[in-house]
Amino acid sequence: MQRYLSFPITIILLLSSCSVEKDCLEADLVLINAKVYTANEKLPEAEAVAILKDKIIFVGSANESIQYTCNDNRIEDLQGKFIFPGFIDAHAHLKGIGYREMNLNLQGANSLKEMLTQVEIYANKLEQGKWVVGRGWIEKKWPEGRFPTIQELDMISPDKPMALERADGHAIIVNSLALEMANITGDTPDPVGGKIDKDVNGKPNGVLIDKASLLVESIIPKRTREDEKQALRLGLDRTAMMGWTQLQDAGSPLSDYEILKEIKEEEGLPVRIHMYISDGEDALKFINTGPYFDEDHYLISRGVKLYADGAIGSRGAAFFEKYDDYETKGLVIFQKEETMPKLIKSLVNGI
């Protein structure tokens, strides 16, 4: 009896095997047993993903993925791990990230003492008179919980001008030589939208908030276009390395958009870029010409960066009452009579 039953079973198995091979779809990588967040309301979750030549060709259930889990397709069992479609950095400054890598990167300093040590090591490598430019420090993460002082910077570098930008980009700390070169004294008035911080004797203490930072930044030797291109490349590489798939560049000149177009044509972009054009002449030009897109929407510019006030950390955010630890209500940068026409024209032109 067993001899007769084995024959039809063998035929069925062979036919089934042929059917699977015939229906198998090509994929370079198949991810199974996953928890996939799709961002699609019609299919909010899935269990498998198939990829072919750097493109996702399938997202669906475990049963549906069988058509890809065959032949020589590479299969990875994620054992219930999550898959997300991509992480977007909603507020960053691409070129600033690049320059931070090119110059003095203070992002990883865990204390004021560590930050000052990094500055000293970097400054000692520079020739006399060269600018010490750094970015990324933030006192909130330090046990000391305070800004560096001008005296501390002067002890490190009395013969080299210094400008160190806080992580949020809304304040810089400079040494006495930088103040002297910028002709900033106790009598220098605060610029509109900025503040020159002073000590109890009315002397500048090296902290320049928001628009006041331009008084020093404007005298730092200008970088070349090649410098800017290198900074943007480094910013792209750093962004991709961190796992971001898109970055919203919150305020850059039109020239950065043109450089990114060049980079895209020459070597491609590792992440999508959505750029906002900084307020000023570039923004006015951009508002009149309308949004910019490339063919595959990998490089987009359809927004303008305008400032209403400063940031809380540097005590520039505008409040109705004074800060508990600082004699200020912050800074109002927004000028209604100047800003409203820009906003209206932007909306009309699709920005």
What pLDDT score does 129 carry? 86
Q: Is residue 74 part of a domain?
A: yes
Does 205 share its domain with 291?
A: no
Q: Is residue 91 part of a domain?
A: no
Does 129 share its domain with 208?
A: yes
What pLDDT score does 186 carry? 95
- Other residues' Cβ atoms within 10 Å of the Cβ of residue 87: 13
Does 241 share its domain with 343?
A: yes
- The DSSP line for 137-186 is E-GGGSSS-SPPPHHHHHHH-SSS-EEEEETTSSEEEE-HHHHHHTT--T
Q: Is residue 273 part of a domain?
A: yes
**How many helices (H) and strands (E) would you count in the chain?**
10, 18
Could you list the mean pLDDT of each consecutive 10-residue stretch along the chain, which spans 351 residues? 42 40 82 94 93 90 90 91 92 92 92 97 93 93 94 95 93 97 96 92 95 95 95 96 94 95 95 94 89 88 88 86 86 84 90 89
Cβ pair 95, 89 in contact under 8 A: no
What pLDDT score does 1 carry? 44
What pLDDT score does 339 carry? 87
Cβ pair 288, 344 in contact under 8 A: no
- Contacts of residue 337, Cβ cutoff 8 Å, sequence gap at least 6: none
What pLDDT score does 295 carry? 82
What pLDDT score does 4 carry? 42
Does 76 share its domain with 103?
A: no
What pLDDT score does 175 carry? 97
Cα 207 to Cα 192: distance, rounded to the nearest angstrom: 16
Does 327 share its domain with 229?
A: yes
What pLDDT score does 297 carry? 86
Cα 107 to Cα 127: distance, rounded to the nearest angstrom: 24
- Other residues' Cβ atoms within 10 Å of the Cβ of residue 182: 21
CATH number of 135's domain? 3.10.310.70
Does 56 share its domain with 120?
A: no
Q: According to the 3-state scheme, what is the secondary structure of 192-241?
A: CCEEEEECCCCCEEEEEEEHHHHHHHCCCCCCCHHHHHHHHHHHHHHHHH
Which residues constitute the domain of residue 144? 96-217
Does 180 share its domain with 121?
A: yes
Does 101 share its domain with 206?
A: yes
What pLDDT score does 316 carry? 85
Q: How many domains does the chain have?
A: 3
Does 62 share its domain with 173?
A: no
Q: Is residue 90 part of a domain?
A: no
Cα 253 to Cα 337: distance, rounded to the nearest angstrom: 23
Cβ pair 318, 332 in contact under 8 A: yes
What pLDDT score does 2 carry? 47
Q: Which residues pair with 195 in a beta bridge?
A: 209
Single residue among 189, 217, 245 that ends a domain in this structure = 217
CATH number of 300's domain? 3.20.20.140
Q: Is residue 9 part of a domain?
A: yes
CATH number of 74's domain? 2.30.40.10
Does 248 share its domain with 323?
A: yes
Q: Is residue 213 part of a domain?
A: yes
Residues 259, 265, 271: CA angle, nearest 5 degrees = 75
